[in-house]
Amino acid sequence: MRHPTEQTRLFTTWLLCSLMLLTSACVLPPTPVSSTDDAAPSATAPAAAEPPASHVSTDAFGREVELPAGPQRIIAHYFASDMVALGLPMIGTNYVNAELVLTPEQLAVLTDTGTGDPNVETILSLQPDLIFVPDFTDAAVVDLLA
């Protein structure tokens, strides 16, 4: 029978070799570099396709709505933490919920869009590109914001 420290040393050696083998399998092979002038871009290469200016989606009320591509002024009533996590440019939110998840510095640059149902006048005065409200928002309020 082997001494326990010898077993430990053998196990550690086996474990390290296994880890090295596994990590070496994860390395990508080098990309070949062409040294010829054939790599120059062709003058007839097709231009990159332009991204669409908007996207059509279905909202919680079953209506098809057009969402702008790359909105720069977003109202996120109840969804402040999601917008911050995604790095989206938010201009207004519901402070009651946002105070729980945002720092005072983050709140300082946002407009309070009201508690409960969103304040329609405040939101429309901000001229947002995109408005997110929860699915429990009154349908009449959603219609005013559309």
Query: Over its length of 146 residues, how does the chain's per-residue pLDDT go in tens digits?
Result: 555 667 677 666 665 656 565 555 555 555 565 555 555 555 555 666 777 888 898 988 888 988 888 899 999 998 898 998 999 999 999 998 899 999 999 999 999 999 888 999 999 999 999 999 998 899 899 999 98
The two structure tokens encoding residue 135: 């699915």
Distances (CA, A) of 143 to 84, 92, 126: 26, 19, 17
Residue 107 domain flag: yes
| Helices within the chain (DSSP H only) | 4-25, 80-86, 95-101, 104-108, 120-125, 139-145
Say if strands 64-68 and 54-58 run parallel, antiparallel, or are unpaired.
Answer: antiparallel
Q: Indicate which CATH number applies to the domain containing 68.
A: 3.40.50.1980
**What domain count does the chain have?**
1
DSSP-based three-state secondary structure for 135: coil
Q: In terms of residue numbers, what domain contains 85? A: 54-145
What pTM, to 2 d.p., does this model score?
A: 0.63
